[in-house]
Amino acid sequence: MTEIVATNIISPLGRTTEQNFRAVACGRTALSHYGCRGSFPGPFTAAAFGPESIAELAVEGFTRFESLVISSVEEALSRTDVDTSSDRCLFILSTTKADVEQLGCDSSEDGAYLAPGAAARKIARHLGFVNDPLVVCNACISGVTAQVLAHRLLSAGYYDTAVVCGADCLSDFALAGFSSFKSLSERECRPFDIERNGLNLGEAAATVVLRRCVDAVQGCLAPEKSWKISSCSLNNDAYHVSAPSPDGDGALSAINETMTGRDCSALSLLNVHGTATMFNDQMESRAVERAGLSDVPASALKGYFGHTLGASGLLESIISMSAADAGTVPATRGFSQGGVSGRINVSAESRECCTADVLKISSGFGGCNGAILYSKDGRGCGPAKAGASEAKTLHTVRITPQRVELDGKISETDSTCGRVTLDGLYRNHGWDYPRFHKMDSMGKLLFAATELLVSACPFSAEETGRAVLLFNASSSVLSDRRHIASYSGESGFFPSPSVFLYTLPNVAVGEIAIRYGIKGETSLMILDGRNDHLMDAVVDATLKLSDAENMITGWLDCPSEDEFIADLKFLSR
């Protein structure tokens, strides 16, 4: 099991967890109304740092994003004796877009751009970490996913401590993207309210420092006082790349998995995603009702911080634990009159609660859902699943511009023309899936690779316990550049929702979840170059500590249109 030994939040509301919680308790919000910003015509409402805060947080030689991460991690670490230079300590960064604003429409226009993995390495070196860092890029549930991965890697014994930081900066990139989805509210967001009409973006960094303990008492620094990750679950609803299943199927199964064998009456509060979009809040209310949690005091925090994307899963969990410690359920700022069909216990006022368990849920683009249960007594945190054994590789596939290999055998038909193209593969094999043409190159590459794996080993859609964990170095750089061109180019501000969609690299994984009915967890992680040792550790810890029976995993990278590699395997326990 894992114990939370320190936390930090840096947001426009404060520089420490305590300052941020006090601001929430006083009902203060970081949201402000703005005119335009850069190439974004506005007006809009967002939670942004003022110029003074940015100057104060700046670390010399680092970008604004990197400085934010460094400041948050350093403050959290200052409360611990964690030795970052130990090879038993891992740094995980949770972010949707890292420093994407430094990227240009083409490479000649790039500023100080570093891909997320490279940025994480630069930050990690500065903070003294010796291990390669891992970046989790799972859209809005990145922060939840990152904690789940840390919890598993610690529980499986790969590391003793993990520093998990989530961060995203307010950017024209995200503003343009969410505006193309018509999901931005011009005014302060109103989670679960009848008049809600969209989200506000926010910027923040939030850090948790996790430590492995043998059990809830032994090895814990503060057995009675500290919060522990008691259980957790991730999944995909395999419904649609940008809309959740209307009845909240994915969120429901994440809650049910997490609460299995646990007492719902011991929940002091439920922290929901509550973005204030029509679809998210409606879906969550249904999931909460179906899970039997309608009476549990629920709270959504987007009215204080906006949607902080890669930070949100961490930031909102930390505030919720602080609230439970203080015996209060934060008011859902912006909520006034219920506007969802599922019964959910949100309130415009803060309420008293007992200090017991905290449940965090989150859902995001690409169909992903996650839940984490935090408790003080850490009960039910069992050891690694009994009977977990070495995974067997059943099939492998490798696609590069040079050749296609299935189970090590070079496919002559796909390579005869001397060069492999993704559209060519689609035609050659006579695949019939019109959505293929809507995908970006990375999506097409993953589709082709999976289609070939399935040809060797047919999937049945009803099978459960299948996960997809993929790694790359370039994130979604091709779609990122196209998106930037769509809103900052000479032709004007016309961001396209279908281009923006693929700038969340986990959406490619969501596409194959839909195609093959994969309802296990689906995650995309970014490294600064392939690291098989770290990838194997993540895969092994996931197979040992989740309900995944089998898995598609490997390296999927698309740095340019004519330079791509899928090197995937299908594993089974």
Partner 1 sequence: MEELVNELKKYLIEALNLEEMTPDDIDSDAPLFGEGLGLDSIDALELIVILDKNYGIKLSSPAEGKNIFRSIRTIAAYVAEHRTR
Residue 245, interface with partner 1 (CB under 8 A)?
Answer: no
Q: CB of residue 495 vs partner 1: minimum separation in angstroms? A: 8
Q: Would you say 211 and 316 are in contact if contact means Cβ atoms under 8 Å apart?
A: no
Q: Which of 140, 501, 534, 568 binds partner 1 (CB under 8 A)?
A: 501
Residue 482, interface with partner 1 (CB under 8 A)?
Answer: no
Q: Which of 327, 388, 438, 457 binds partner 1 (CB under 8 A)?
A: 438
Q: Which of 240, 262, 530, 573 binds partner 1 (CB under 8 A)?
A: 240
Q: DSSP readout, 22-42? A: HHHHTT---EEEES-BTTB--
Which residue from 100, 202, 177, 108 is spatially nearest to 502, judged by alpha carbons? 177
Residue 514, interface with partner 1 (CB under 8 A)?
Answer: no
Residue 485, interface with partner 1 (CB under 8 A)?
Answer: no
Q: Would you say 252 and 290 are in contact if contact means Cβ atoms under 8 Å apart?
A: yes
Closer CB to partner 1, 38 or 497, in the complex: 497
Closer CB to partner 1, 246 or 327, in the complex: 246
Q: CB of residue 529 vs partner 1: minimum separation in angstroms? A: 32
**How many angstroms separate the CA atoms of 566 and 571, rounded?**
16
Paired tokens of 7: 């936390």
Residue 219, interface with partner 1 (CB under 8 A)?
Answer: no
Angle at 133 between CA 120 and CA 514, to 5 degrees: 90
Q: CB of residue 366 vs partner 1: minimum separation in angstroms? A: 13
Q: Which of 33, 125, 182, 392 binds partner 1 (CB under 8 A)?
A: 182
Residue 559, interface with partner 1 (CB under 8 A)?
Answer: no
Q: CB of residue 476 vs partner 1: minimum separation in angstroms? A: 16
Instruction: Count CB-CB contacts under 10 A for residue 421.
Output: 16
Q: CB of residue 436 vs partner 1: minimum separation in angstroms? A: 8
Residue 459, interface with partner 1 (CB under 8 A)?
Answer: no
Closer CB to partner 1, 82 or 175, in the complex: 175
Q: DSSP readout, 406-461? A: ETTEE-HHHHTTSS--HHHHHHHTT---GGGGGS-HHHHHHHHHHHHHHHHS---T
Q: Which of 71, 94, 180, 322 binds partner 1 (CB under 8 A)?
A: 180
E strand map for 517-549: 522-526
Q: CB of residue 79 vs partner 1: minimum separation in angstroms? A: 44
Q: Give the DSSP H/E element, type plus range, for residue 65.
A: helix 64-77
**How many angstroms separate the CA atoms of 306 and 203, rounded?**
8
Q: Which of 27, 50, 383, 492 binds partner 1 (CB under 8 A)?
A: 492
- Return left, alpha or beta for 408; rule: phi > 0 is left, psi -120 to 50 is alpha, else beta: left
Residue 434, interface with partner 1 (CB under 8 A)?
Answer: yes
Residue 561, interface with partner 1 (CB under 8 A)?
Answer: no
Give residues in contact with partner 1 (CB under 8 A). Answer: 180-182, 240-243, 434, 437-438, 492, 494-498, 501
